[in-house]
């Protein structure tokens, strides 16, 4: 019974990790115009391509999963702040502002879950590592 519950938890975190990566990659391909004259936009695009990849590398090395999780958290935090600022400047009602940023807030919380999973896996690897030979 416990094994089945742990498999469900593992599958949920795997799907969350893949979903966040796909969402960030879709932001690049659907939102950004490929303009070779705009360097800062190109840097943001590289960030949004590399960070999800690092998050998915969690299964090879938990440290890269931590970096990817932190990068995802920073992206969703910045996205929520930008959306609030632009929505407030447009005089949109608070209910629409809430509906506009809630997905970023929830994905930010999901990133925290994945950071915790990577930290837990890093500690588990350290605890179960064999003793060094002298």
Query: What value does the mean pLDDT take over residues 115-124?
Result: 90
Residue with more model confidence, 121 or 2: 121
Q: What is the pLDDT of residue 111?
A: 93
- Quote the percentage of the chain above a pLDDT of 90: 40
| pLDDT per position as a tens digit, 53-83 | 998 888 888 899 999 999 999 999 999 999 9
Taking the whole predicted model, whether its pTM rises above 0.85 is answered as no
Mean pLDDT of the chain: 87
Q: What is the pLDDT of residue 134?
A: 67
Residue with more model confidence, 115 or 129: 115
What DSSP line would sit under the chain, residue for residue?
A: -HHHHHHHHHHHHHHHHHHHHHHHHHHHHHH----TT-HHHHHHHHHHHHHHHHHHGGGT-HHHHHHHHHHHHHHHHHHHHHHHHHHHHTT--HHHHHHHHHHHHHHHHHHHHHHHHHHHHHHHHHHHSPPPP-
């Amino acid at each position: 019974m416990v094994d089945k519950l742990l498999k469900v938890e593992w599958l949920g975190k795997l799907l969350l990790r893949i979903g966040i990566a796909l969402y960030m990659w879709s932001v690049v391909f659907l939102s950004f115009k490929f303009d070779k004259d705009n360097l800062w936009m190109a840097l943001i695009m590289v960030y949004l391509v590399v960070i999800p990849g690092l998050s998915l590398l969690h299964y090879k090395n938990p440290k890269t999963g931590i970096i990817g999780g932190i990068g995802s958290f920073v992206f969703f935090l910045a996205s929520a702040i930008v959306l609030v600022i632009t929505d407030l400047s447009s005089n949109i009602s608070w209910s629409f502002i809430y509906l506009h940023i809630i997905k970023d807030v929830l994905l930010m919380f999901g990133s925290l879950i994945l950071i915790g999973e990577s930290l837990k896996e890093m500690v588990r690897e350290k605890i179960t590592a064999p003793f060094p030979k002298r």
